[in-house]
Amino acid sequence: MDLFKIFSKEPPSKDLAKERLKLILIHDRANVSPQFLEMVKGDIIKIISDYAEIDEKGLEIKLTRSGKQGEDVPALVANIPIKKMKEIGR
Amino acid sequence: MGISIVITSGKGGVGKTTTTANIGTALAMQNKKVVVVDADTGLRNLDLHLGLENRIVYNLVDVVEGTCRLKQALIKDKRFDNLFLLPTAQTKDKTAVTPEQMLELIENLKKDFDFIIIDCPAGIEHGFENAVAGADKAIVVTTPEVSAVRDADRIIGKLEAKGLEDHQLIINRIKYDMTKKGEMLNIDDMTDILAIKLLGIVPDDEKIVISTNRGEPAVTYDSSKAGQAYRNIAKRILGEEVPFINLDDEEQGFFASLKKIFFKK
């Protein structure tokens, strides 16, 4: 296992620590509760449903970060799987 | 009028009390009149760090409750005539004092001292509220660990919410050999994440253990690297420009020792 480690060139553990910290601090600073995310999710479903049939179970929304390296900003990222577009949307 | 500085961290065990004792002593060594205040009611330890545990008669809670006068509770340091300790009660809890009482107490101390250094308890509850109530500035202590950095960030947020904008960071217990290998968060990583001004870097130093055993702050030891770092921090607090320790110059291990023997600096 250790031999494998030497050749696999894992990134140094501090990079991992930094990445994990950056992500958790976005959550800590935003102070976003799971309830908040559920509320946003509910509203997104309501609005998008007028235009498309969506897979509600597959809908995923999370708080993360985006932007170029060094200028990270918090971002709400939603992944909304669409089953079928409705007529009105065309 | 003196300046009051609270030493805080959020997480426990990162070296708040050690930092308080050392900065207080180092400022006294610079001929400033200093009082170190233990705000950790119920879990007092600052007295032990200074070796003054046997001299306590009255404490902070007695002062607040009016059992004694402020001057009666102040304990003069063994080594420096211009350094004093205001201990707190060990048998009471944090609710024995209110933030308003703390503010009044610190304001009174500011009339007599150049520096009031307040040792904040861990956590973000009542004890924290008390400790920061009378503070003009804050020093946030962290170590290169994810949990300590996370808690430091939370504390910085709390300080800013209170309008305590003058806060600086001390990174404690840096291990140079580990940062070099990339196995420990380095200074840039932490200042980048926390976005706060750096006041000092304190290397991990076994002398801290020894000095605490003896009840003598490490700043009184010439040979202690952590002591040197705290002496530099005190100078920076007084407005002097002191460069940070350059990590690349800090070689450790067998070869470094060999080098030292052959190429004495």
pLDDT band at residue A86, thresholds of 50, 70 and 90? confident
In the block, which residue shows the tokens 């993360």? A64
**Does the structure show a pLDDT above 60 at B102?**
yes
pLDDT at A65: 74
Count of CB pairs separated by less than 8 Å, A with B: 37
Q: Give chain B positions within 8 Å (CB) of A13.
A: 182-183
Assigned token pair, B70: 């402020």
Q: What is the pLDDT of residues A13-49, one digit of tens each?
A: 999 999 999 988 988 888 777 788 888 888 988 998 8
Assigned token pair, B244: 């940070």
Q: What is the pLDDT of residues B128-152, one digit of tens each?
A: 999 999 999 999 999 999 999 999 9
Q: Per the CB < 8 Å rule, is A21 touching B150?
A: yes
- Chain B within 8 Å of A24 (Cβ-Cβ)? yes
**Does the structure show a pLDDT above 90 at B36?**
yes
The helix (run of H) or strand (run of E) holding residue B76 is: strand B75-76
Could you say which of A12, A24, A25 has the minimum Cβ distance to residue B181?
A12
The whole-angstrom separation of Cα B34 and Cα B87 is 14
List, as residue ranges, the binding site of B for ATP.
Answer: 11-18
Q: Give chain B positions within 8 Å (CB) of A17.
A: 146, 185, 189
- Chain A within 8 Å of B189 (Cβ-Cβ)? yes
- Chain A within 8 Å of B154 (Cβ-Cβ)? yes
pLDDT at A61: 85
Tell which residue, B240, B230, B16, has the closest CA to residue B120.
B16
How much is the pTM?
0.84
**Complete domains list, chain B, with CATH:** 3-262 (3.40.50.300)
Task: Count the helices and strands in chain B (H runs, E runs).
Answer: 12, 8
Q: Per the CB < 8 Å rule, is A14 touching B185?
A: yes
The whole-angstrom separation of Cα B48 and Cα B214 is 9
How far is B193 from chain A, CA to nearest CA, in Å? 7
> By CA distance, what is B149's nearest residue in A?
A21
Q: Per the CB < 8 Å rule, is B182 touching A25?
A: no
- Chain A within 8 Å of B106 (Cβ-Cβ)? no
- Chain A within 8 Å of B161 (Cβ-Cβ)? no
For chain A, domain boundaries:
32-90
